[in-house]
A = this chain, B = another copy of it.
């Protein structure tokens, strides 16, 4: 083990850690609530402490959902953010990059790269705005419209996976609870 070894070790630009002298009570593990692993009697790692935290559950769920989305749309190589960009442009052709970025909560600097990639694939095109020559009007190409229709069918399949995972009613309740965040 490099860390904590007695031999001097080379560390590039990282602060020295774990001074060898400091070691806490290495005896029988006792948890911070005073009980000796009472939450481990089932052999699993106790996480009661995180159970009441909305953010933790939401994070884990979001990871699952995105992974399923990426898997389900893997054959067409479209990720969630790319899908959301194409969907917004498809429903609102002519939007500027700023407008799309604001609507989706994406940094405009990042949208540049997302659009570069979609434009290379000839799914989206930038058109110079006639009224404001600083801005681009965004459109789907003919190919992009056809492709988006397919992406939407796959996304619907993905939504069915979500419904299978948490239950149809729960999915609908979830969408209702989070409707402000759409």
Interface centre among A22, A63, A65, A178 (most CB of B within 10 A): A178
CA distance A125 to B23 in the complex (A): 7
Whether B177 lies near A174 (C-beta < 8 A) is: yes
Chain A, residues 114-138, CB within 8 Å of chain B (1/0): the string is 0010011000011110100110010
List B contacts of A30 (CB < 8 A).
93
A53: CB under 8 A from chain B? yes
Closest to A59 in B: B62
The total of chain A residues at the interface (CB under 8 A) is 91
List B contacts of A13 (CB < 8 A).
none
A42: CB under 8 A from chain B? no
Which residues 104-120 of A have a CB within 8 angstroms of B?
A: 105, 116, 119-120
Q: Which of B4, B55, B180 contacts A128 (CB 8 A)?
A: B4
A76: CB under 8 A from chain B? no
List B contacts of A4 (CB < 8 A).
126, 128
Whether A54 lies near B177 (C-beta < 8 A) is: no
Closest to A155 in B: B53
Whether A105 lies near B58 (C-beta < 8 A) is: no
List B contacts of A41 (CB < 8 A).
none
Given A45-B95, A47-B182, 12 additional A-B pairs, CB 8 A: A4-B128, A32-B90, A32-B140, A39-B91, A45-B92, A46-B92, A47-B87, A49-B88, A51-B182, A57-B178, A58-B178, A60-B182
Chain A, residues 155-167, CB within 8 Å of chain B (1/0): the string is 1001100100011
A14: CB under 8 A from chain B? yes
Whether B69 lies near A55 (C-beta < 8 A) is: yes
CA distance A139 to B18 in the complex (A): 13
CA distance A155 to B53 in the complex (A): 8
Whether B49 lies near A105 (C-beta < 8 A) is: no
